[in-house]
Amino acid sequence: MLHVRAFRVTVVWTLALLYLGSVVHATESSLACPDWPTCFGTMVPEMAGGVFWEHLHRLVAGGLLLMFGLATWLAHKETPDRPWIFRACLAGLGLLLVQSVLGGVTVLYRLPDAVSTSHLGLAFLFLALATVLASSTGRKSREGSLFAGDAGRWGGADRLRPAQGRRVAAALCAGLVFVQSVLGGLVRHTDAGLACPDAPLCLGQWVPPLVNTPITLHFLHRVLALVVTVSVLGTAAWALRVGAPAGLRRWIVAAAALVVLQVALGFASVLTTLAVIPVSLHTLVAATLLAVLTHVATAADRSVRRERRPEPTAVAAAR
């Protein structure tokens, strides 16, 4: 259906917007347009230098709002039997509108740390919501194949156990990635990215002297990165060991690969003195990892709910 495609486009569009927003900050273009919603008093400024990145970011953000508005209309039209989808879409539109206002406040008040970090956090939250919608309405969500890999090892009610475990573990990992991403945004907006100018050590020590806020934030970001890495890799190893279905196995492997790449990009960002490409890719990979883990959790949740649903023949017999 068209709403499924629209949700998937929304996810990809949001990832592109997050990458572009990171480029804006990394190139110090956040205040290239000193006013909002116009740029130097016009909606069509000269696209040169920092104005190019900042105004392009605004245009892509506006396009995302229109795209998700279309997805919301299609979902309302095509899924009248699942009203929760339309309600979730309305919540997503609300997030985008608040996100737009925060973007304007960020510019008008000259990049306050709390507002800029909230701006990024809401973007990640919207990405998770869009991923849930895309995963819940896709073809795989309507099939019974998600338990295929569990059938050989587990039987009866126990067949739910691997899917329940995947759901909980993936959801917890996604939550950790979200918190880590918000903390990373705080590191970025407080200019703490080079508080520890070396890697993997911090100021030449495994545990540096936490004498100021930038060093503390940067070190906490690294510690939580270790927790996220161990959690994701451990979850992936467990899910594959208990026999994850083929449809989810590639997503689980992708999550493991992404978290390793994310750590490498974090080191590269520091060692290249916050060069634009590694810093921007660091944000993109974090967002992609969140989307992948959210998809795994959503797919497992849908399969558990479907398995628990009474069979039509059983319901008829009970009547």
Q: How far apart are CA 287 and CA 302, in angstroms?
A: 22
Q: How far apart are CA 288 and CA 307, in angstroms?
A: 29
> Domain boundaries in the chain?
1-137, 153-319
Reported as half-sphere exposure (CB side, CA atoms, 13 A), residue 179 has a value of 15
130 close to 14: Cβ distance less than 8 angstroms: yes
The stretches of 109-159 forming alpha helices (DSSP H) are 113-137
Among residues 61, 42, 63, 65, which one has the least CA distance to residue 53? 61
CA angle 252, 126, 221 (to 5 degrees): 65
Residues 6+ apart with CB under 8 A from 52: 29
Confidence of residue 213 (pLDDT cuts 50, 70, 90): very high
Confidence of residue 218 (pLDDT cuts 50, 70, 90): very high
Q: How far apart are CA 268 and CA 180, in angstroms?
A: 18
Which of the pair, 214 or 304, is modelled with greater confidence?
A: 214
Mean pLDDT (whole number) for 75-98:
96
Q: What is the mean pLDDT of the chain?
A: 88
The alpha carbons of the chain give a radius of gyration, in whole angstroms, of 22
Instruction: Please write the tens of the pLDDT for every residue from 98-149.
Output: 999 999 999 999 999 999 999 999 999 999 999 999 999 876 544 334 434 4
Which amino acid appears at position 246 of this protein?
A: A
Residues 6+ apart with CB under 8 A from 189: 25, 111, 113, 116, 117, 120
Percent of the chain with pLDDT over 90: 78
- Strand, coil or helix: what is 138? coil
Residue indicated by tokens 């997050």: 18
So what's the pLDDT on residue 251? 93
Q: pTM score, two decimals? A: 0.90
Q: How far apart are CA 119 and CA 113, in angstroms?
A: 10
So what's the pLDDT on residue 248? 84
So what's the pLDDT on residue 247? 77
Please write down the long-range contacts of 63-68, taking CB distance under 8 Å and 24 or more positions apart: 63/13, 64/10, 64/13, 64/14, 64/17, 64/96, 65/93, 65/96, 65/97, 65/100, 67/6, 67/9, 67/10, 67/13, 68/6, 68/10, 68/92, 68/93, 68/96, 68/130
Q: How far apart are CA 6 and CA 9, in angstroms?
A: 5
Confidence of residue 167 (pLDDT cuts 50, 70, 90): confident
So what's the pLDDT on residue 6? 96
